[in-house]
Structure 1
Amino acid sequence: MKKRQLLLITSCFLLLFIVGCTNDLNILPEDENTFLVDDFYNSPEAYKQGLAGVYGNLTLTSSQGPGESNITGLDAGTSQYGRGLWNLQELTTDEAKWTWENDPGLRDLNRNIWTSENVILRGFFGRCMTQVSFANEYLRQTSDEVLQSRGVSETLKNEIVIYRAEVRFLRALAYYHMMDLFGKAGFITEEDPVGAYQSPQYDRFQLFEYIESELLDILPTLKDPLQNEYARVDKGAAWMLLAKIYLNAEVYIQEDKYAECLEYCEKIIAGGYILAPNYSNIFKADNNSNNARNEIIFPIISDGIVSQNYGPTTVAVNGQVGSLESNGSEFGVTSGGWGGALRVTRQFSETMLNGNYNADDRNTIISANRTIEITNISNNGTGYVITKWSNKTSSGANGSANEIVDTDFPLFRLADVYMMYAESVVRGGGGSTATAVNYINQLRARSNNNNSISSSDLNLDLILKERLVELHWEGHRRQDLIRFNKYTGGSYNWSWKGNSVSGIPLDNSRSVFPIPSASLAANPNLTQNQGY
C-alpha cells in the first residue's frame, strides 16, 4: 500500500457532500448517516480533513467505494473526475477508441455524434459542479467570522489561509475544465447561499476573467513549488493553470496571450522541477515516489487500497491490454485486462512509426498480428495497441491490487511546459528559439531518440506531433487539436471522425460539448450551445 501524505478521509468526504449539494447541480445525497457541521469542526484536525475531502472529489466517487457514485443516476466510472476528463479529451480524437460501444455514452464519443443526453457529458458536468459545491462549502466553513466564532487559534488560522487558497485553486480548475469543454457554466461561489439553485450563466469570457483573477489572487499565499505535501496545490500548479488558459486564450476569448503563457512557463521551469531520466517511470505505480516525482506538477492520485477509483490510470492500464496479446501481467494487472478495451487509430500509429519516432521510447506500439486500421470498432483484434501505462513499480514489483492501480495521473507535468514554451515562441510570444529547440531535444534525448532538431525544424506541425508523442493518453489531445485548427472542419481527419471509418469533417459546433439536458432542466439560466 502506498503511504499517502494527503489522506482521503471518508468522513470528511461525506460531510462535504452532504452540506455542499444543490439541486442546481443535479446531485442528491444518498447517505442517511449525516452529522452536524459544527460537531465535525470541533477538532482542529478537521480543517485539514475537510481540505482532503475537497481534494477527494478529484479521485473518489462516493464514500461507499469505487463501485458507487454520489451523483444520482450515474455509475462510478461515468462520474469519476479524471476519467470523465480523459474520456472527453481522448476518445473524441485520434488517440484512442473504446471497443465496448454498448457502454453508455461511449459510442457517441468514439464517433463524434454525442448529444445533450450523453451520460458521460452529464457525469463530467456534474462532477465539475460538485467540485465547485464542495469548495464553496469549505470556504463558507472557514471564513474569518466562522473561525472566530469557533475560537480557532491564530496558528491554525494561518494554516487555514493556505488551505483556502488551495481550495480556490481546485474550484478554478473545475471552472477551467467547464470553460474548455462546455464553453459556459452555472456560476456560484461561497458568497451565494446554500440552496441558490438557479445560478447565473458565465460564458467563456467571464470564466476566463474569473479563473485568471482567482489564480493571481491566491498565488502569494500558496507554498513554493515542491514545498507542499505530495498531491497538494502549490505555486507551480497555479502557474501551470495560468499558462494553460493563456496558451488557449485565442480559443477562449479570441485574444493572443502567448507572451503571458511563456512568462509562466519560465516561472515553472525555474521552480525546481526536473525531467524524470526515464520516461516510463512517469507512468508506473510508484510515480509518486520514484524519479518522476519532481516532473509531476499536479496529479490525480490513485491507489489500489487507500483511494480506490475507476479513474483514468485504471482505465489506461487495463484498457491497453491487448485482446490478442493478453499481456496484462506485464503491467501488473490480470492477463486479460479489460479485453482489449482501448486501441489507437491508424493516424496515431503512422505518426509513431515514421522515421522520427520509430526507435523512440515513447513509441510503445504493438502491431504484430494486427491491422493498422480499425475497420470495425467492435473487433478488438484490429488496430494497434500501446503499452504506455503500468501498475508495476520502477523496480518491477506489482502494485497493491491487480485491477485498480496505484499509478497517479499526471494532470500537469514539466514536459508539457517545455512544449508550451516552444509553441509560444513559434506563435510570437517572445522567448528564445534556441531554448525552445533545446527543450524539444531534451525530451527526445530522454526517450533515446537521436533525431535532434534544429531551429529550421521548429514549427507548429512539429510541435503538434511532439505533443502527441510525449503526452498521448494524458488528456490533452482534443484541446490541442482545437488550438491547432485540426479538430473541426476537414483539414485533418482520423479514423471514425464524424462516424466514418476514414473520417469526415466535423461541424464547428463540435468544438464544444452540449450542456447536458438534465442541467438545462435544473437551471433555466443555462442556455444550450449552438448546434445542439
Structure 2
Amino acid sequence: MKKMIISALAVVLLITAGCTDLDEQILDETSASGLSQNEIVEGNVAAAYAVFSNLFNHVNYFNLQEISTDEAILPFRGGTDWGDNGIFIGMHTHNFITTDPRIRDSWNLIMQGISRCVTAINVIPETSEGDATIYVAEMRALRAFYSMLSLDLYGLVFVKEDVNETSEILRGEEAFNYIASELEYALPIVPGNIGPGRMSKGAVQGLLARLYLNAAVYKDRYAENFTFDQSDMAKVIEYCDDVINSGMYELSTDYFAMFDDENHTNPELIFVYDQRAELNGHNRMAYFSLSGDMYPLPEFPNANGTDGPGITSDFYDTWEEAYAPMDPAVTDPRFHRENLIIPSDSCMSADEFEINRGILRGQQYGLIRNENGFERCEGGGYRIGKLYSRSRNRPDLAVNFTRQIDYTTPGSQYSAGYRVEKYEFSKKSSSGRNFGEADIVLIRLADIYLMRAEAKLRSGGDLAAALADVNMVRAARTARFTAPPLQEINLDLLFRERGFEFYWEMQRRTDMVRFGKYEGVWTEKTDNDPHKRVFPIPQTALDGASSIPGYLEQNPGY
C-alpha cells in the first residue's frame, strides 16, 4: 500500500446541516480524467481520514471529553473572553443544550466521517486496485472507529452499506455488537506496519480492547451500577496481549517525547491523527491553555497562547495527595518538564529558548514582547524575564498561574488556574494556531497496559499482574527520573493513575463514566443526572430527520 497523500481531488461528500437527512450527494471522482485507479482509491481513503483535522481540535472532541470533566475548566476570562454564549460553562457544569454549536459540530464531523467511509467502501471495489480488499477492510475499521465515537458521545450508531440507503439506527447492545463485528472483520486483513496514522492491526486491536472495556456502559447506558461481564474482560485482556506480544510497540522512555513535533515515529504510538507539516495540521492543543502573554517561538512574535482552560483544583489535588509531602514535579516525570531554568532576568539565544511542558504553576517567565517585537539583549540574544499581562492591557498583572480557577471574579482572571502544555508548541506555527506538527495521540501502548490492568481488576483476577502492568508503565519513563512504583492497586488507584498518564488526551469523560464518577461533584459542577452520560442529539439533526416520523428520537433527559 502506497503512502497516502490528501489530495484536492479526494471524494467530496456534501452533508446536510444535521447529517441525518441521509439523501447525500456524492461527487464520484471515478469520472475525473487523468486519475489512476490507485489515485481514485487513495483519494477516497484520504477523504475519510481528513475529518480528523476538525474533529480532534480544541473546541470539538477535546471540549466534549475534557471540559465536561473534573480535569479542565474554562471560565469567562476577565469576565468577557471565551464567553461564547456560555457554552464552555454549560459543558463543564453538565447543562448541555441541543443547540450547543460544539456538540453539533462534533456530531456533524463524526457523521461526515462515517459517510465518507461508506463512500470509500462502495467506490473501491469498482476499481482495478489490487489491494482493494485491504483498503475496504481499513475503511470498515475506520467507520467502526467513527461509530464508536458516536456511540460513546451520543448513544447511537447509524448503519448502512450503500450510499443510497437510509441508515438504520442502533443503540445499546445492538450498536456494540455492530462495531465489534466490523472491527473483528477488519482485524485479520489490515496491515500491521502502515504507521500510526492509519488503521493498522495494532490500532484495531486497541480499539477492540477499548470497546470491550466499555461494554457495560454501551450496553446499559443508564445502569445504576455497571456490570462488567467476565467474557468482555477476557476479550480486553486477549486484545491487549496481542498488541503487547506483537513486539511492534515500546513504551517511551521520555514521556513528553510522545507529544513532541517529531513524535510520528515514537515507538509507543499506535493510532494518531497524522498532522505532520505537509498535511497542514493545527497547533490548537498546544496553544489552547497557554497565557496570551506567553510567546514560545523567538522567530514568530505573533505566535502566543490564548488563556483557555486550566486544570481544576480537584484534579491538581490528586497529584498533591498522591505524592505529599513531595512536590509531584520532582516525583513523577509526567507532571512537568522544566526546560526554562533561568534567573529572573537573563538572556538566551533562539536555539536555547524552550518553554516548560506539562502542568505549569506559579510565575511564568519567557520572551518579553513590546510594540517593536521581542526585547533583545546587547549581545544579540533575547531578554527573558517575568511575564505580565501586557496583551490584556494589564502590564501590572503578573502571569502567575494559581491553583484557584472557577466562575468567581478571582477565579476567572487571565492568570487563574494551573495550565497544561503537554504537546510541544509547533516550531513552525507562525500564528500559534496553525501548522501543528505533532501527531495527536489517540491510542498508545501505555493505554494497552492500563486497560489490561483494569480488565484484570474488574474480573477479580490477578491483582499482582494488574499492579505489574501499572508499574511497567511508571517504570518506563526513565529519561529524567522515574516515578516510584505503586505498592498496591485497586480501581480507585487505577482511575487516579489513568488521570496522571492520560491527562489532556481526550479520555477523561469516557473514563469517568466507566468508573462511576461522572455524576460526582467537582469545581462548579454539582449535576448528578445519569442522562448526562451522553450528549443531546443536536437540534439540527432532529430537524433534518423530521420528515421521517419516529426515525430519530432525542436521548432521554433532554
What TM bracket, shorter-length normalisation? 0.7 to 0.9
Cross-structure match for 2:498: 467
Count of aligned positions? 464
Deviations 1:34-78 (A, max 9, x none): 77533268512321232122111222x5xxxxxxxxxxxxxxxxx
Cross-structure match for 1:8: 6
- Quick one: distance in 2 between partners of 1:308 and 1:435? 43
SS of equivalent residue, structure 1 residue 386: strand
Shift of 1:385: 1.4
Cross-structure match for 1:354: 321
SS of equivalent residue, structure 2 residue 208: helix
Deviations 1:178-224 (A, max 9, x none): 11111113x23233x43x4x533211222101000111111111112
Contact 1:101 1:378 in 2 (8 A): no
Where in structure 1 are there 5+ consecutive unaligned residues?
A: 62-78, 393-397, 498-503
Whichever residue aligns with residue 182 of structure 1, its letter is: Y
SS of equivalent residue, structure 1 residue 288: helix
Shift of 1:91: 0.7
Shift of 1:350: 0.8
1:17 aligns with 2:13: yes
Shift of 1:27: 8.3
Shift of 1:339: 2.7
Shift of 1:274: 0.3
1:133 aligns with 2:115: yes
Shift of 1:346: 0.3
1:327 aligns with 2:327: no
- Quick one: distance in 1 between partners of 2:82 and 2:17? 31
Cross-structure match for 2:556: 530
Cross-structure match for 1:115: 97
Contact 1:373 1:383 in 2 (8 A): yes
Q: 1:24 to 1:372 in 2, by over 3 A?
A: closer
The counterpart of 2:31, out of the listed 32, 38, 42, is 38
Q: Is the deviation greater in 471-480 or in 444-453? A: 444-453
Cross-structure match for 1:189: 160
- Quick one: distance in 2 between partners of 1:35 and 1:211? 27
Contact 1:97 1:343 in 2 (8 A): yes
Cross-structure match for 1:179: 151
TM-score normalised per structure 2:
0.77
Shift of 1:122: 0.8
- Quick one: distance in 1 between partners of 2:106 and 2:21? 12
Cross-structure match for 1:494: 522
SS of equivalent residue, structure 1 residue 25: coil
Shift of 1:493: 1.7
Contact 1:425 1:436 in 2 (8 A): yes
Q: 1:270 to 1:511 in 2, by over 3 A?
A: same
Q: 1:267 to 1:505 in 2, by over 3 A?
A: same
- Quick one: distance in 2 between partners of 1:165 and 1:101? 42
Cross-structure match for 2:78: none
TM-score normalised per structure 1:
0.81
Whichever residue aligns with residue 250 of structure 1, its letter is: A
Shift of 1:163: 0.9
Shift of 1:309: 4.4
Q: 1:414 to 1:331 in 2, by over 3 A?
A: farther
Whichever residue aligns with residue 102 of structure 1, its letter is: G
Cross-structure match for 1:297: 270
Shift of 1:353: 2.5
- Quick one: distance in 2 between partners of 1:531 and 1:30? 30
Q: Residues 241-280 of structure 1: matches in 2 within 5 Å?
A: 241-254=207-220, 256=229, 257-272=232-247, 273-280=249-256
Cross-structure match for 2:199: 233
Q: 1:459 to 1:17 in 2, by over 3 A?
A: same
- Quick one: distance in 1 between partners of 2:101 and 2:3? 34
Contact 2:57 2:284 in 1 (8 A): no
1:367 aligns with 2:361: yes
- Quick one: distance in 2 between partners of 1:307 and 1:30? 27
- Quick one: distance in 2 between partners of 1:217 and 1:41? 34
Contact 1:327 1:335 in 2 (8 A): no
Structure whose CA Rg is larger: 2
Contact 2:66 2:72 in 1 (8 A): yes
SS of equivalent residue, structure 1 residue 340: coil
Q: Residues 157-236 of structure 1: matches in 2 within 5 Å?
A: 157=130, 159-185=131-157, 187-191=158-162, 193-194=163-164, 196=165, 199-224=167-192, 227-236=193-202
1:283 aligns with 2:259: yes
Cross-structure match for 1:395: none
Deviations 1:390-446 (A, max 9, x none): 135xxxxx246552211111100001111111111111164x433322222232223
Deviations 1:65-112 (A, max 9, x none): xxxxxxxxxxxxxx6678522111101011112344323533321332
The counterpart of 2:532, out of the listed 510, 513, 520, is 510
Task: Looking at secondary structure, tell me which structure has more strand per residue.
Answer: 2
Contact 1:169 1:215 in 2 (8 A): yes
Contact 1:16 1:54 in 2 (8 A): no
Cross-structure match for 2:465: 435
Q: 1:332 to 1:508 in 2, by over 3 A?
A: farther
SS of equivalent residue, structure 2 residue 263: coil
- Quick one: distance in 2 between partners of 1:172 and 1:81? 20
Shift of 1:250: 1.0
Contact 2:94 2:527 in 1 (8 A): no
Shift of 1:170: 1.0
- Quick one: distance in 2 between partners of 1:112 and 1:182? 14
Task: Looking at secondary structure, tell me which structure has more helix per residue.
Answer: 1
Deviations 1:109-145 (A, max 9, x none): 13321111111111111111101110111111123xx
Percent identical among aligned pairs is 28
Deviations 1:3-62 (A, max 9, x none): x943222221xx2325xx467616899999x77533268512321232122111222x5x
Where in structure 2 are there 5+ consecutive unaligned residues?
A: 76-80, 221-227, 337-358, 363-399
1:84 aligns with 2:114: no
Q: Is the deviation greater in 85-94 or in 108-117? A: 108-117
Whichever residue aligns with residue 215 of structure 1, its letter is: L
Contact 1:80 1:309 in 2 (8 A): no
- Quick one: distance in 2 between partners of 1:215 and 1:437? 29
- Quick one: distance in 1 between partners of 2:278 and 2:120? 23
Q: 1:264 to 1:232 in 2, by over 3 A?
A: same
Deviations 1:144-169 (A, max 9, x none): xx33xxxx2xxx33x12111111111
Shift of 1:234: 1.1
- Quick one: distance in 1 between partners of 2:494 and 2:475? 16
Q: Residues 59-74 of structure 1: matches in 2 within 5 Å?
A: 59=53, 61=54
